[in-house]
Amino acid sequence: MGAPLAIEARGLHKTYGGLFGPRQRALEGLDLAVARGEAFGLIGPNGAGKTTFIKILLGIARPGSGQVRLLGGDPESVEVRRKVGYLPERLHLPQAWTPPAFLASVARLKGVETSPRALMDLLARVGLQDDAHRKIGGYSKGMRQRLGLAAALIGTPELLVLDEPTDGIDPLGRMEVRRLLLEELGRGATLFLNSHLLAETERVCGRVGILSAGRVLREGRLEDLCQSGSHYRVRFAPGFDAQALAAAGFLPGREAGAFRCEAETPERLNEALDRARRAGALVVEVAREEKDLEEVLQEAVRGAAPAGPREEAA
C-alpha cells in the first residue's frame, strides 16, 4: 500500500464559458497524486490551468467531470478545510484593518482558538512584527503577501496550498519564506506550491508536475525530471590538453575546467574517460549533467503533442 495521499485528482475536466460566449477548456483529464508530507510544485505556462486546478482542489470551483480528494476527504467538507491553509494568487485584504485584527478574523472563521500573543508570534514568523500595528492599506505588495502567508499558517494546517507565495517579495524575503516553508515541511505538513519562479520551486519542492493545456505533461521527482540521461559533466585537474580531450569526446562546458561528454551507457562513458586519461588528463569529478527546471519545462511544453483547439464554439 502506498503512502496516504494529501491530494488525489483523477480525470479532472473543467470548461468555462458557454451559453453565448466561447467555451474555454481549462482542464482536460488531469490526474495527479501528492503524498502526505511531501513538497509538490506545479509549474506551467500562463493559462495552463494551474489556478483552476487549485480552485477545484479547494472546492472554490467544481469540476465538469472527474474526482478530487483532499486529505482523504471531500474538498468541500468543513472538517477537511479546517486542515488546509491557502494563499490565493491575489489576496484581497481589508484595507482599514490591522494585521492582528485580520488574522484574528481568519482564526475565528477557521474555528481556531488563538491569543494576541500567538498572533504576534505568527506575524514575527513572516517578518511583520515591526509593522503589526499599521493598517493593511499602507502595506506594500510583499508585506501583503507575507500577511497572506501568515493567514494560511493559522491552525498549523496539514496541507498548505500556496499560489505564487513569493510574488512581490524581495530576494531576502524570499529566503525567509523558503526557510519558513521548509520549517512547515519539517513538522510534517504537505506543501503544494504553484509558482512562476522556477528557482523557488526547485529549492523547495521534491516533486514537480508540469501542466500545460489542462494536462499534466510530466511529473516526478525533481532529480529524475532534471537528469539529462546521456550527458555527463566531467572536470579534469589543471594541465589537461584540450585538443586531446576533444578528440576523446569531451567538449568544453560552461565553467572553466569542466567538459561535457555524451555517452549512452556507462561502458561508453568509461571508454571515453580511459581515452582522456591515456592523453594525460586527470579526472577529478564526474556527474550526470542536470538540466534546470526552466529547460525541463521548455522541453515538456514544446514536446507536447498539440492538444487541438482549446476554445470551442458555444
Lookup: cell for 137: 492599506
- Find cell 496550498 and name the residue: 161
Q: Is 146 in the site for another protein (CB under 8 A)?
A: no
Stretch that binds another protein, among 57-65, 166-174, 251-259, 270-278 (CB under 8 A): 57-65
Q: Which is nearer to another protein, 69 or 82 (CB)?
A: 82
Stretch that binds another protein, among 96-104, 212-220, 259-267, 287-295 (CB under 8 A): 96-104
Q: Is 284 in the site for another protein (CB under 8 A)?
A: no
Instruction: Tell me how many residues contact another protein (CB under 8 A).
Output: 31
Q: How far apart are CA 97 and CA 119, in angstroms?
A: 14
Kindly tell me which residue out of 5, 33, 35, 91 binds another protein, with binding defined by CB under 8 A.
91
Stretch that binds another protein, among 40-48, 86-94, 227-235, 238-246 (CB under 8 A): 86-94
Q: Is 141 in the site for another protein (CB under 8 A)?
A: no
Q: Is 50 in the site for another protein (CB under 8 A)?
A: no
Q: Is 19 in the site for another protein (CB under 8 A)?
A: no
Stretch that binds another protein, among 92-100, 183-191, 197-205, 212-220 (CB under 8 A): 92-100
Give me the 161-180 binding string for another protein, x by CB under 8 A, dash otherwise.
x-------------------
Stretch that binds another protein, among 27-35, 108-116, 121-129, 172-180 (CB under 8 A): 108-116
What is the DSSP code string of the chain? --PPEEEEEEEEEEEE--TTS-EEEEEEEEEEEEETT-EEEEE--TTSSHHHHHHHHTTSS--SEEEEEETTB-TT-HHHHTTEEEE-TT----TTS-HHHHHHHHHHHHT----HHHHHHHHHHTT-GGGTTS-GGG--HHHHHHHHHHHHHTT--SEEEEESTTTT--HHHHHHHHHHHHHHHHTT-EEEEE-S-HHHHHHH-SEEEEEETTEEEEEEEHHHHHEEEEEEEEEE-TT--HHHHHHHTEEE-SSTTEEEEE-SSHHHHHHHHHHHHHTT--EEEEEEEE--HHHHHHHHHHHSPP---SEE--
Rounded least distance, CB 91 to another protein, Å: 5
Rounded least distance, CB 110 to another protein, Å: 6
Q: Is 151 in the site for another protein (CB under 8 A)?
A: yes
Q: How far apart are CA 185 and CA 159, in angstroms?
A: 10
- For another protein, the binding residues in 226-265 under the rule CB under 8 A are none
Q: Is 89 in the site for another protein (CB under 8 A)?
A: yes
Rounded least distance, CB 45 to another protein, Å: 21
Residues in contact with another protein by CB under 8 A are 16, 55, 58-62, 78-79, 81-82, 84, 86, 88-92, 94, 96-97, 101, 105-106, 108-111, 148, 151, 161
